[in-house]
Chain A
Amino acid sequence: MDNGYAVEVENLTVKYGEEIALEDVSFKLEHPSFLTIIGPNGSGKTTLLKSILGLIKPEKGSIKVFGINVLENATKARHMIGYVPQRERISTNVPIRVSDIVLMGRLARYGPLTVPSKHDMKKVKEALELVGMIDFWDKKFSNLSGGQQQRVLIARALAVEPKMLLLDEPFSAVDIPTQREILNILFNLRMRENITVVLVTHDVNPVIECSDKIMILNKKLIAYGKPNDVIKDEVLLKAYGAAVKIIAHEGICYVLSGDTHA
């Protein structure tokens, strides 16, 4: 049962056909905390998120979310999670208003033919307020900027009242000020709302200060721990296969060359 851990992964191995996507990954994540997962392309970051959601059946290993075994009870485990998929995977062909999108995740849990209650609408409002998008209630999603769309998707995840948010590349294709704004929102959720935040990203630098834990993944778990214990030359070399420069500023280490898309 719930033992203070948001996620417990043990000996997780995932294969796509013959190809190994994740090999023998084990870690525990306390609740609430802010975890950033980095690694080169194809290193299994998204696979790990999907495994936690129970969208992928692992070859072996176990995954628990707030003490619930995902392999045995994916539905119950998913109720703890608000998921924000990669924005590129979302269709802009469907004309939907912002409020309808935020409502979507909540209503999905009730099954077909349900109408939103006053309580549902209240939660949608609160979620949009948390991400600063309440003024866009009636706007068409496809007309919003990338950063605004991202915030709406975060609101959709918040509207289901999750204990944990999983975000896949929330900073892709958004400019730096927007990146900052989104990061602020996520950091506040962690600090004020006690929501565990797990995000996958290419560029670790902006996230370092906010992260309680950093995970470096390259099919195997290369490193996992507090930012300053993880951001080290030899660790990054192992993950990316190339020397990556690190500088220290105010006690925090920064990666100079960033992701090389190895």
Chain B
Amino acid sequence: MNLTHLQRLEAEAIHIMREVVAEAEKPVMLYSVGKDSSVMLHVARKAFYPSPPPFPFLHIASGWDFQALLDHRDRTAKEYGLELLVEHNAEGAASGINPFDTGSSLYSQTMLTDPLKNALTRYGFDAAFGGGRRDEEKARAKERIFSFRSASHRWDPKNQRPELWKLYNARKNKGESIRVFPLSNWTELDIWQYILLENIDIVPLYYSAPRPTVERDGLTIVVDDDRFRLEDGEEVVERSVRFRTLGCYPLTGATESDAADLPAIIQEMLLATGSERQGRAIDKGQGASMEAKKQEGYF
């Protein structure tokens, strides 16, 4: 019997998760509720079966999350009996930081990166699973599966531990914590194929549907609630759209599409001509910007 590539990737991810649970003191799984998180959760349920995943799930809510995403999150946590932790920077929001008036880098720093760092520090988590994949971005391609962060959550790309075979060195220095990426070797297609094969429930926003939209800065933005501020000349138009990636709704571009089921989504993705992160305003800018963000603690 030959293992398929998906079976090998799944077995590898399970092995990684078990290593973390065996060696870390207080692990947590970052749960963004997106498709990669959904795959990660599914693999975690497999890795520890018949036990439930022996760690909590942490969601960083910016306050500008899609409502459908929050509904999916709560439904999933309830269905699988997950210990769900939600972190939100209420102070940042109260001080007027929002995706409309604040620059994208300050916004993501304040509403996403800072609360993540705060939660990890406050709960004392020493290892955090993330759904990052090496095919997403050049800086990720060189990141280890066990990636260390200093006490201030910075990544030092020049000082990574060599990672051989499947031997992960999880020993930490004082104050350090580990980001662990069990899906490092998966590609976007692998993720979708696995969702299809394993029949994994994902946020409906990935499927196309008529949604109220506005065109802004070359992105098609879905007006998810009445807090959305229209600028002069903008009008809300109903379009058949779906998302390839999910972030804060005023900053995440949708693609026009008729793909309403998984095979159609995969078909569209394979024939697409833009890479996954094109729809995310946060990742725009210079080629190395993601690397700079990661050094600052962005996941």
- A pairs with B: no
Residues of A whose CB lies within 8 Å of any CB of B are none
Residues of B whose CB lies within 8 Å of any CB of A are none
